[in-house]
Amino acid sequence: MSEMTESSEAKSADLSLKEYALSPLNSDKRKPQPLALVIFGATGDLASRKILPAICRLAIRGELPDEFVIVGAASSEIDDEGFKKIVNEATKDIEDPEGVWENYSKRFRYVSGDYLSKETFVQLNQVLSEVDDQYNIGGNRVYYLATIPKLFSVVADGLKSVACNKPKRKDNFVRLVVEKPFGVNLESSKALDVDLHTAFEENQIFRIDHYMGKETVQNVLALRFANAIFEPIWNRRYVDHVQVTVAESLGVEHRGAFYETAGALRDIVQNHVMQVLSLTLMEPPSSMDAGGIRDEKVKLLKAVEIADIDEQVNNVVRAQYGPGEIEGEKVVGYRQEDGVSPTSETETYVATRLYVDNWRWAGVPMYVRTGKRLAKRITEVSMVFQRPPHLPFAGRLSRDLRPDVLSLRIQPDEGISLSFGAKIPGPAFKVKSVSMDFSYKEAFPEVTVDAYERLLLDAMMGDPMLFIRTDEVEQAWKIVAPIQESFLQGEPPLARYPSGSFGPIEAERLIQASGRQWQNL
Ligand code: BG6
């Protein structure tokens, strides 16, 4: 065991953060250039839960430049001190023994105002000029849109109105980070792009899908392209079908009102599932850079068959959770959640079957399921292999033999497992499925970097590889469009499942229709 591992076991989580900063794992530590990070929606939930803690950890690990400042912007009428209180509250559980974050946060500024008023942006520009001078920021900006989606275009327009959308000097950068949802359908996502592109060039726009920041999602690429043994079997000759599961045990929490306008299809399938699917199924890129990877992802998405609506209805299940129990605790059904209509038809579960029309995957069904309030939280991709063409054992001896499965577990218990047949000890030649497991945490016990930390740092560094390009967003909307359309027409009828279950019976039927079954959660 390395020195770092021994000590990190003995010390608190935040000391291991510091150790991580000094560890060989972090030897390729990168630091952005001086910059101001402007968070729009700075008093909101996303800023407090994700952005501020991520920035704080980056600061404590020494991954931010000395010349760094956050400027918060929102409509709440607070001042710089009020914003610092919000920052402190959001980061209070992160230990900062050397006061690194405290020092940074002393400089944080806040601009209060209505995004529809030019005055707000004039004021923001003024504050940015002041921090440029005070802290040698030099004019570099990263704007983070953590507002409600309908304000994305308004803010982009406001920034343009005071010429904050373009670098002031040749060697400056100005970037815009946008959180999903990127529209609510193909048309609105295109309209959003037109709006954003009137103020920003595509290469200035960094669209976040936080799944791309997860180490284990990136590990799909390592598994496929750092090894020679998987590639030969990664195709229709050996793979019977693929399953992608994004199961959550949480309900909609306090986001009921938002979720009513989203539903599982838009919230998870259009983005996170498509990202995981495209990385798993795409062709090998010629290089591990932004262009190479994103081109291959788009090519894969373009090959996904877009069914017509009538056909799609038979290949999709939509369902909603009712009351039930999660880990022994009674929980309410979706329609009883705050902000949700008691007659809501919004789906909290989707299962569907897709096909990829290309040489590698033709005819291989891709089963996808996602839902809230399921028995367990688990995100994984499983490649289920074809059965051997002939089993030389009597049927009763191989009753417990299932097809071989390679499962890439994205969360929790991140890892990879391969299940295959083995002989049961004893005189009879009885076989059953066993599993060989690789645990990410056991192999790499060092602190792993949170998805937001990775993505924020990449945006500040200007590395677009893990961000979503506009053509990917568009293609993903095209894939889900027929499903959206059939849901709008009330088809298929909304099924139900109790909270804490494995999902609706209709999803079992969907996969069983072809003689297959879902992997156990
Ligand atoms: C978000 C969705 O994008 O992803 C949430 O809006 C969902 O509804 C969340 O809970 C899941 O993320 P994670 O990282 O917990 O799998």
Q: What is the pLDDT along the chain (521 residues), one digit of tens a residue?
A: 333 333 333 333 343 444 444 444 444 567 999 999 999 999 999 999 999 999 999 999 999 999 999 999 999 999 999 999 999 999 999 999 999 999 999 999 999 999 999 999 999 999 999 999 999 999 999 999 999 999 999 999 999 999 999 998 999 999 999 998 899 999 999 999 999 999 999 999 999 999 999 988 988 999 999 999 999 999 999 999 999 999 999 999 989 999 999 999 999 999 999 999 999 999 999 888 888 999 999 999 999 999 887 888 889 999 999 999 999 999 999 999 999 999 999 999 999 999 999 999 999 999 999 999 999 999 999 999 999 888 887 778 788 889 999 999 999 989 999 999 998 999 988 889 999 999 988 998 876 788 999 999 999 999 999 999 999 999 999 999 999 999 999 999 999 999 999 999 999 999 999 999 999 98
Q: Is 272 a catalytic residue?
A: yes
Instruction: Identify whether residues 159 and 295 lie together within a single domain.
Output: no
319 CA distance to ligand 1 centroid (A)?
18
438 lies in some domain: no
414 lies in some domain: no
User: Would you say the CB of residue 450 lies under 6 angstroms from ligand 1?
Assistant: no
Any idea of the CA torsion for 491, 493, 497, 503, to the nearest 10 degrees? -40
Instruction: Identify whether residues 365 and 233 lie together within a single domain.
Output: yes
Best residue among 209, 266, 272, 377 to mutate for probing ligand 1, ranked by most atoms within 8 Å of CB:
272
250 CA distance to ligand 1 centroid (A)?
10
How far apart CA 176 and CA 165 sit, in angstroms, is: 9
Instruction: Identify whether residues 223 and 188 lie together within a single domain.
Output: no
Instruction: Identify whether residues 271 and 337 lie together within a single domain.
Output: yes
The residue contributing the CA closest to ligand 1 atom 13 is: 211
Q: What is the residue range of 255's domain?
A: 213-387+469-512
User: Which pLDDT value is given to residue 11?
Assistant: 34
Marked catalytic residue, from 197, 210, 241, 272: 272
Long-range contacts of 168-172 (CB under 8 A, 24+ apart): 168/139, 169/138, 169/139, 172/138, 172/139, 172/140, 172/141
419 lies in some domain: no
The distance of Cα 250 from the centroid of its chain, to the nearest Å, equals 16
User: Which pLDDT value is given to residue 447?
Assistant: 64
412 lies in some domain: no
Write down which residue in 173, 208, 243 finishes a domain. 208
Write down which residue in 185, 208, 231 finishes a domain. 208
449 lies in some domain: no
Instruction: Identify whether residues 201 and 319 lie together within a single domain.
Output: no
Q: What is the DSSP letter of 68?
A: E
Q: Please, what's the largest Cα pairwise distance for the chain?
A: 84
User: Would you say the CB of residue 458 lies under 6 angstroms from ligand 1?
Assistant: no
User: Which pLDDT value is given to residue 393?
Assistant: 78
User: Would you say the CB of residue 337 lies under 6 angstroms from ligand 1?
Assistant: no
243 lies in some domain: yes
210 CA distance to ligand 1 centroid (A)?
8
Best residue among 244, 267, 372 to mutate for probing ligand 1, ranked by most atoms within 8 Å of CB:
267
User: Would you say the CB of residue 267 lies under 6 angstroms from ligand 1?
Assistant: yes
Torsion sign across C-alpha atoms 275, 276, 278, 279: positive
User: Which pLDDT value is given to residue 313?
Assistant: 85
Q: How many domains does the chain have?
A: 2
> What are the structure tokens assigned to 512, written together?
């069983």
267 CA distance to ligand 1 centroid (A)?
8
Kind plus residue range of the DSSP H or E element containing 302: helix 290-303
β-strands 174-179, 205-208 pairing: parallel
The residue contributing the CA closest to ligand 1 atom 9 is: 268
Could you identify the atom of ligand 1 that is nearest to the CA of residue 246? 16
The residue contributing the CA closest to ligand 1 atom 4 is: 268
Instruction: Identify whether residues 204 and 227 lie together within a single domain.
Output: no
Write down which residue in 175, 193, 208 finishes a domain. 208
The residue contributing the CA closest to ligand 1 atom 8 is: 267
Instruction: Identify whether residues 364 and 323 lie together within a single domain.
Output: yes
Instruction: Identify whether residues 166 and 281 lie together within a single domain.
Output: no
Best residue among 207, 244, 268 to mutate for probing ligand 1, ranked by most atoms within 8 Å of CB:
268
Pick the closest to residue 411 from 241, 247, 242, 208 (CA basis). 247
Instruction: Identify whether residues 168 and 262 lie together within a single domain.
Output: no
User: Which pLDDT value is given to residue 429?
Assistant: 86
H helices within 91-203, ranges in order?
Answer: 100-105, 118-135, 152-161, 186-199
User: Would you say the CB of residue 248 lies under 6 angstroms from ligand 1?
Assistant: yes
Task: Assess contact for 304 and 355: CB atoms under 8 A.
Answer: yes
Q: Exposed, middle or buried: residue 14 (CB in 10 Å: 0-12, 13-18, 19+)?
A: middle
Task: Assess contact for 225 and 258: CB atoms under 8 A.
Answer: no
Could you identify the atom of ligand 1 that is nearest to the CA of residue 259? 8
The residue contributing the CA closest to ligand 1 atom 6 is: 267
The residue contributing the CA closest to ligand 1 atom 15 is: 248
Is the overall model pTM greater than 0.85, yes or no?
Answer: yes
353 lies in some domain: yes
How far apart CA 305 and CA 286 sit, in angstroms, is: 25
